Amino acid sequence: MKHVRLVHAGREQWGVMTEDDSRIRLASGIELPFDSAVLLPPVTPGARIFALGLNYADHSAELGFKAPDKPLVFLKGANSLVAHRGTSWRPRDAEQMHPECELVAVIGQTARNVAAADALALVGGYTVACDYAVREYLENYYRPNLRVKNRDALTPLGPWIVDAADVADPQALALSTRINGKTVQSGSTGEMVFPIADLIAYLSAITTLEPGDMILTGTPHGVAFVAPGDEVECEVEGIGRLVNHVDWQP
Amino acid sequence: MFAGTAYGIALNDGAQLSALDPAFHEKPYGQPPRAPVLYVKSGPGIVRGGAAIAVPQGADGLVLGATIALQRTVTGFGAARLALDLAVPHQSFFRPAIAELGRDGLLAVGDAGVVPAALDDLEIVTTVNGAEVHRWNLSRLHRDVRTAIADVTAYMSLLPGDMLLAGVAGDAPIGRAGDRIEIAANGLAGLTVTLGAAEGGRP
């Protein structure tokens, strides 16, 4: 099952996709065409958003870093999220803004001090994120710093959450990014330095993970800059294809 | 639990920033920070006054960062709370410090009231087990609260329910398991928490 969050009839609602992905079925039984729905990022309000840096060895090498010896985790606020088909803004004084396609694990049950062997069972679902970075704003303080990673609407998320039960092996999914149809990132979730189970074990020893919390699990190599007018697609095999448009920051 | 996100500003004590300036010209930093150095506390990381907060296994104690939180409301930054912004002591500012800042309960906040008129001259006092251990004045801030709000919101929105923490003193004291911590400042509701040993959990 694929779960979408949207605005319909003046309120926020959750619905599920029909079998052919063409329509959204609401709790009331009403069905709406997916293509014209007003989507929201499929996030539980108040949930925490964890994100990983340098979690693919080839991306670390590309940036001139060794792969870290423990997960490099940072947090995001809800301001950073934008839905499928939304718009992300390129600042007017920056040229080096690049998309980062990521598999997102959505926690399904409380996780505290969980062993890695038991951790995947606590994932409720998966979605896709495009964790844009603006390299001009990088500073070596709590890097990647929030001016790079927590800008408004620079973390597209969606289009939906797929039930974990429908994902046979989350560590064997192809992921890719296309800018105007041209592939700029291509990898596999099998290449993560710290797989999802290890990330949950690590984080759950630090803090209590709650249902709805999200872990953006990092991105493979391929740094390509976007320009206003570009259409960016981030796709994770079996999860979804997340579309985003780039425009100038107003 | 708070639905909003709290953003803390590291290195916002002017004296601390000056003392570290030589190190900030060396690797891995290269140059002193330009934008506010932010970190995030949210979800179970934020608790109210009265909470018992765990000192994690392996940590000697927690930095008692007495400060003020300005809360974004629908109409602006019109609400203020006393805050105890706790940290596992750490010296490196290079990578996000999730294990030092992101633990459950490492931000305690008091009740929200009006923003004190003399915000830039606010004296915040920390008392441990009945004895005053620290006192500092927000005039020490590198970026005063209003400047910090302007500089942060220039690149990211704070949403209603989000909070901005003004910064902690570079000489903030350490609290240990068993301590009862009280934070006070004129015009704001007081804040009291206790520190306890972590239960269970792997080191």
**A153-170 pLDDT, tens per residue?**
999 999 999 999 999 999
- A interface toward B at CB cutoff 8 Å? 45-48, 50, 53, 68, 72-80, 112-113, 137, 139-147, 150-152, 203, 205-208, 210, 213
**Which run of H or of E encompasses A245?**
strand A240-248
Q: Which of A74, A141, A208 sits opposite B33 (nearest CB)?
A: A141
Same domain, A36 and A48: no
Select from A40, A55, A70 the last residue of a domain: A40
Same domain, A76 and A119: yes
Q: What is the pLDDT along chain A (250 residues), one digit of tens a residue?
A: 999 999 999 999 999 999 999 999 999 999 999 999 999 999 999 999 999 999 998 888 888 888 889 999 999 999 999 999 999 999 999 999 999 999 999 999 999 999 999 999 999 999 999 999 999 999 999 999 999 999 999 999 999 999 999 999 999 999 999 999 999 999 999 999 999 999 999 999 999 999 999 999 999 999 999 999 999 999 999 999 999 999 999 9
Cβ contact, residue pair B5, A80, below 8 Å: no
Tokens of B33: 């920070």
**Cβ neighbours of B40 in A, within 8 Å:** 74-77, 146, 150
Q: To the nearest whole number, what is the mean pLDDT of chain A?
A: 97
Same domain, A119 and A29: no
Same domain, A58 and A5: no
The CATH code of the domain at B2-197 is 3.90.850.10
The boundaries of the domain holding residue A3 are 1-40
Same domain, A5 and A91: no
Same domain, A146 and A229: yes
Same domain, A148 and A235: yes
Cβ atoms < 10 Å from Cβ of B129:
12
B98 — phi, psi (to 5°)? Answer: -65, -40
**Cβ neighbours of A147 in B, within 8 Å:** 35, 38, 155-156
What's the confidence (pLDDT) of residue B203? Answer: 33
Cβ contact, residue pair A74, B96, below 8 Å: yes
Q: Which of A46, A141, A207 sits opposite B29 (nearest CB)?
A: A141
Same domain, A89 and A35: no
Same domain, A181 and A101: yes
- List, for chain B, all residue ranges whose pLDDT scores fall below the cut of 70: 1, 199-203
What's the confidence (pLDDT) of residue A67? Answer: 82
Same domain, A122 and A222: yes
The ipTM is: 0.95
Q: In A109-239, which ranges are E strands?
A: 123-130, 133-134, 155-163, 174-179, 182-188, 214-216, 231-236
What's the confidence (pLDDT) of residue A64? Answer: 87
Q: Is B202 on the interface with A (CB under 8 A)?
A: yes
Cβ contact, residue pair B40, A147, below 8 Å: no
CATH code of the domain in which A2 resides: 2.30.30.370
Same domain, A55 and A33: no
Same domain, A23 and A60: no
B109 — phi, psi (to 5°)? Answer: -130, 145
**Residues A199 and A54 sit within 8 Å (Cβ to Cβ):** no
Q: Is B92 on the interface with A (CB under 8 A)?
A: no
What's the confidence (pLDDT) of residue A126? Answer: 98
CATH code of the domain in which A65 resides: 3.90.850.10
Overall number of domains in chain A: 2
What's the confidence (pLDDT) of residue B201? Answer: 43
Distance between A110 CA and the closest CA of chain B, angstroms: 12
Q: In B74-184, which ranges are E strands?
A: 76-87, 107-109, 113-114, 123-128, 131-137, 163-165, 174-175, 180-184
What's the confidence (pLDDT) of residue B199? Answer: 64
Distance between B185 CA and the closest CA of chain A, angstroms: 29
Sequence-distant (≥ 6) Cβ neighbours of residue A11 within 8 angstroms: none
Q: Is B97 on the interface with A (CB under 8 A)?
A: yes
Put residue A189 in one of left, alpha, beta given phi > 0 → left and psi -120 to 50 → alpha: alpha
